[in-house]
Amino acid sequence: MSIIVFSENRNGKLKKNSIEAVVYAQSIAAATSKPVVAVSVGNVDDQELALLAKYGATKIVSVTDQNWLAHDSREYTKLVAEISEKENADTILFSHSNMGKAIAPRLSVRLKAGLISGVVALPESFAPITVKRKAYNGAAFQLVTVKSDKAILTLNPNSCAIKENPVSLNIEPYTPQTAYNAETKIESVDVVTGKVILTEANIVVSGGRGLKSGDNWNLIEDLATVLNAGLACSRPVSDEGWRSHEEHVGQTGKIIAPDLYIAVGISGAIQHIGGVSGSKVIVAIDKDKDAPIFKYADYGIVGDAFAVMPKMIESFKKFKNS
Ligand SMILES: Cc1cc2nc3c(=O)[nH]c(=O)nc-3n(C[C@H](O)[C@H](O)[C@H](O)COP(=O)(O)OP(=O)(O)OC[C@H]3O[C@@H](n4cnc5c(N)ncnc54)[C@H](O)[C@@H]3O)c2cc1C
């Protein structure tokens, strides 16, 4: 039996969540003596793949076939199923990312494997596997046990602490037996450049309806620039068209878990908190001292964002230049 980790990359660079997933797998491997097999699809060179071995992947199955570079969830499901069977896997790990959320349920049906999504911590037990996940949109936690022979987990960011566990590098170039047969074709991809990627940012500055209008976003952007942070917003902000939906975090948006989340003029509705509660430190700025966001914040500033933000930006600039 083995543990499979589906690793994701962006333009050939492994995503942080892929390293986390390998570390998570390694902790299961340490308790069960199973090998950790990472699956990589794309133009990821050997030097980059070596990172997976540094964190404990005993084998890396690398698919670089040009036909497989365009992500299609249905086709990738078939590919991961094929590799899982070849590797005799009984545990398959994905990140709780758009890709993981799209492939894992399909794979669960195909392999008749129990699926636990949004796992937030290392397993409580291993045979059968029992893990903690978020429930009710982050308002509670559940302990869930997989009863089937095979288990699939999708891992929330920060579900385990990253630590190295170097093993020797073993890359297996792999040609899929399944033909890539997607019903859609990607004609072109426009990649946003020069921006901190929200889901991978260590610091995120996020604005809500309290900012009154998209015209005031220079405050959020200036603070993000000085902190080298990603930009986020609440759902009404993107619904109003003040910001793009790709910045919307929460139950219906992206789920993020940065080291520092700064919420400005965001009331702290449960649907918003569901997307950011994995953050290590939450700082809230709101003029209403009773705003629910302060229940979740580690640090709170009660005040008018239009007065507080310029002072914060100025102070951070001074601090950086000192
Ligand atoms: C099914 C469903 C799914 C949803 N999914 C999401 C989701 O994914 N993400 C999401 O964010 N929401 C989601 N929502 C909406 C959610 O319920 C809230 O309505 C939303 O999060 C509120 O956004 P907000 O905090 O920006 O606005 P508000 O709730 O209007 O809060 C604005 C805050 O700004 C403060 N404020 C006002 N002026 C100032 C000022 N000058 N300075 C400082 N503070 C000020 C106010 O005191 C208030 O606390 C969902 C709702 C439903 C029903």
* Under 8 Å between Cβ of 174 and 37: no
Residue of 108, 100, 120, 122 whose CA lies nearest to 152: 108
Tokens read off for 42: 């794309």
Q: Which amino acid is at 193?
A: T
Ligand 1 atom nearest to CA at 293: 49
How many Å lie between the centroid of ligand 1 and the Cα of residue 222? 21
Read off the pLDDT band of 109 (50, 70, 90): very high
Ligand 1 within 6 A of CB of 240: no
- Ligand 1 atom nearest to 285, measured from its CA: 43
The distance from CA 257 to its chain's CA centroid, rounded to whole angstroms, is 8
Residues 23-71: tens digit of each pLDDT? 999 999 999 999 999 999 999 999 999 999 999 999 999 999 988 988 8
State which ligand 1 atom lies nearest to the alpha carbon of 268: 25
Res. 232: pLDDT tops 90: yes
| C-beta of 291 in contact with ligand 1 (< 6 A) | yes
- What average pLDDT does the chain have? 94
Q: Is the Cβ–Cβ distance between 113 and 85 less than 8 Å?
A: no
User: Who's near 194: CB < 8 A, 6+ residues apart?
Assistant: none
Which domains does the chain show, CATH number per domain?
2-173 (3.40.50.620), 198-321 (3.40.50.1220)
Indicate whether 137 pLDDT > 80: no
Taking residues 88-103, what's their average pLDDT?
Answer: 96
Residues in the chain: 322
